[in-house]
Chain A
């Protein structure tokens, strides 16, 4: 099992590669795209953001912005014989953006990019027809929840599928068994959201709706039926539990140098048996290189433990020791791919 991790700038691939990362991905936003589709850079939370991106990260610091930097990163990957995937996984591209997309695909092809992460079916179709030298990895922004969806994408020249965050090990196994000729990857350390990437339509640049604080009014579907006190308390408590699942620790709280996030290391003993699962994905674009190194070391050790015969309970113990707050492991508030 490879470790796939996001990078934002030149110099990160050599460092992360040294600590055990095997595959890399990044985003690239040319100035021409930013200028055409974005009014101004908005200062928000200390980062500059744009409103129309080519991928699922809108912060400029999470994207490579100049061609020469991307060229250097491609070179760094070549020298180490590792893959560098380019994320072009904006959830959709309308017709008027296609002239820019031709320019963009020409440019990245000339730079030496050969693997792209894509969500939009129009773009997948365009790449298949006009840029057959590009391998397509399906972004998690297209939802693959069942074996038939795997078959659908398998027939579309997709080389690898990224599984959604909210799956079970059994579901993943069944999809792979039904579509054994494809490659797969799944998320191993990741921020949590109760909604699905592939079916969320909000503009992420103003923040995820899952993290917004709303007030609530509850009412029965049956007209004329009033809520009683205990029902209301239970509904409120349930909302609170969902909020705490998304943010189980105070804002800014970090453990071992990185924030409290979703984890799936206890799935490694089961899923490492499946050869077509090629990579564990850590979506770290925008984090510091130091945080990324910490995560790679953590996952590398988890894989090694599994290879040495560690079972699910052993990995859970390792996770609890690393993340602390073991209760979050016991009550499954830290889980991606939550199992009983």
Chain B
């Protein structure tokens, strides 16, 4: 393993490395263990699903993997960067550089148009000619003529497609999706799922999605099962592309 001049970055095939990960909360004087001793790695370019019953800790796991929160124990290495060494602002920059997000409730900025929502991650990176790139992405998700609409003026499916365009706008190394079809009807879900996988394949992005939907999970190459805060199964369902 070659070591990059920047100490935080190592040349590895693994995009996400989770070691002895644990998360506890103190509530009403009691310690609540949400995640306990989780270990797994995610290879670059793979598609992965984290499944488990409600309250099993899968969304917490997603949050930790994406650097939205700090773990209580263990290590999260994203693209070779130990997130535990970084403060919240540095993690924000890591997210902006390497991570894309898709949320169950879309999480678009309500006061920004669809186009502006897609542009934000690029603007943050200080990139040029971003309008054309954002329009291109909206075109890919089939919303060319909806760019100047506000989220409240779009349907749920359209909002999720804007969210998808935004997630891919910064050409992320890894895409985290939290119940991406949870708020959509069957037909719209099908379209959105197809888009996620198509765009993912096209961009060569690693996909980690959290879902209840076993049918959706089955579309990924690997299913990580969580129960009671512990990793109970890690099934490689398909051959890694």
Does A pair with B? no
